[in-house]
């Protein structure tokens, strides 16, 4: 398959134009969407959309109970799906929760979310990746600037930009406890990064990403083009949907307040993974789902 978004191939970075729509349902059908035209406009323009108070307080406390019970149950467990912080034993992320845990499978199937992502992606969807990023107080380290799509394209073989991440805030996201930072409009440009993908890169990249992190010049260009950096803060229970190629990152958390987010990544069933464009081995199923699974439809 032709590689429309080459990266980690050249010695110089390059900024390529996006070749896919941001919203894959024709805008003449806005009235079929469960969100407003203004919200669709905002997502199309910025590459992300925050919806506050999406979940009820009761749902939030159920989810918080679930993520902390899971965290406790894995505290002393050595599992590939449990990623620990680079400088401590604290749990950084737990992957594949949509499949391994009945409760999170229900969250992944939440019809309110499915109706939105089906419209944005213009098709039925399946879960490409799910994870809980705990970002514990004092110990939670940064997630350097990156486009998820760049990794999913190069290391997982995701052909086109037709996936969306739904970040569910399960603790209050303040300006100071390492919230998600996004560059508005960056979804429209693809930063072709330098550097080869090391064998089994995921064993290190999920702790600290090195390849696929854009150069400072490209990041400066994107931020200036987009008019700065957005930090959607808000109470637990809000969600932030962001397009697969929107440049994002988050700082270390040096406050007592954890920043727990649950991520469900939805991919179009018409955009299933092929061989990694890096030419390397496919990443494990718990990071990048390949098995044919039940489609989620709106």
Site residues for ligand 6CS per CB under 6 A: 129, 131, 143, 146, 148, 151, 205, 209, 287
> End-to-end CA distance of the chain, in Å?
30
Buried b (16+ CB within 10 A) or exposed e, 13-52: beeeebebebbbbeeeebeebebeeebbebbbebbbbbbe
**Taking CB under 5 A as the rule, does residue 150 contact Fe ion?**
no
Q: State in angstroms the smallest separation of the CB of 155 from Fe ion.
A: 13
250 beta partners: 143
- x/- mask, Fe ion, residues 183-222, rule CB under 5 A, reads ----------------------------------------
Return d(Cα 293, Cα 116) in angstroms, integer. Answer: 20
Return d(Cα 138, Cα 9) in angstroms, integer. Answer: 37
**Closest residue to bound Fe ion by CB:** 148
Q: State in angstroms the smallest separation of the CB of 22 from ligand 6CS.
A: 18
Q: State in angstroms the smallest separation of the CB of 32 from Fe ion.
A: 29
Q: Which does 63 bind (CB under 5 to 8 A by kind): ligand 6CS, Fe ion, none?
A: none
192 beta partners: 14
**Taking CB under 5 A as the rule, does residue 156 contact Fe ion?**
no
Q: Which does 162 bind (CB under 5 to 8 A by kind): Fe ion, ligand 6CS, none?
A: none
Q: Which does 151 bind (CB under 5 to 8 A by kind): Fe ion, ligand 6CS, none?
A: ligand 6CS
Q: Among 148, 150, 155, 243, which residue interacts with Fe ion (rule: CB under 5 A)?
A: 148
The structure tokens listed for 54 are: 């999406």
Q: State in angstroms the smallest separation of the CB of 297 from Fe ion.
A: 26
With vertex at residue 219, the alpha carbon angle to CA 217 and CA 224, rounded to the nearest 5 degrees, is 95
The answer to whether 267 touches 128, Cβ cutoff 8 Å, is yes
Q: State in angstroms the smallest separation of the CB of 243 from ligand 6CS.
A: 13
Which residues lie near Fe ion (CB under 5 A)?
148
């Amino acid at each position: 398959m032709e590689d429309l978004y080459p990266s980690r191939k050249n010695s110089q970075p390059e900024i390529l134009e996006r070749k896919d729509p941001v919203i894959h349902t024709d805008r003449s059908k806005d009235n079929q969407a469960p969100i407003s035209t203004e919200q669709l406009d905002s997502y199309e323009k910025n590459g992300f959309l925050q919806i506050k108070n999406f979940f009820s307080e009761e749902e939030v406390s159920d989810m918080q109970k679930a993520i902390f019970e899971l965290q406790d149950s894995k505290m002393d467990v050595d599992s590939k799906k449990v990623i620990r912080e680079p400088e401590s034993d604290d749990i950084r992320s737990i992957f594949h929760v949509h499949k391994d845990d009945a409760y999170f499978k229900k969250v992944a199937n939440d019809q309110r979310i499915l109706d939105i992502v089906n419209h944005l992606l213009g098709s039925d969807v399946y879960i490409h990746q799910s994870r809980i990023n705990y970002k514990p107080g004092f110990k939670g380290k940064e997630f350097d600037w990156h486009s998820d799509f760049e990794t999913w394209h190069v290391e997982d073989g995701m052909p086109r930009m037709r996936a969306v991440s739904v970040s569910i805030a399960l603790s209050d996201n303040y300006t100071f406890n390492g919230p998600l930072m996004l560059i508005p409009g960056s979804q429209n440009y693809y930063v072709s990064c330098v550097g080869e993908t090391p064998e089994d890169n995921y064993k290190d990249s999920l702790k600290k990403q090195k390849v696929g992190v854009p150069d400072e010049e490209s990041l400066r260009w994107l931020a200036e083009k987009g008019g700065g950096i957005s930090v959607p803060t808000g109470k637990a229970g809000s969600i932030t949907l962001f397009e697969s190629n929107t440049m994002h990152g988050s700082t270390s958390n040096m406050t007592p307040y954890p920043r727990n987010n649950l991520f469900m990544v939805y991919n179009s069933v018409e955009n299933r993974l092929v061989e990694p464009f890096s030419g390397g081995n496919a990443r494990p199923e718990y990071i990048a789902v390949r098995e044919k699974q039940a489609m989620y439809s709106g």
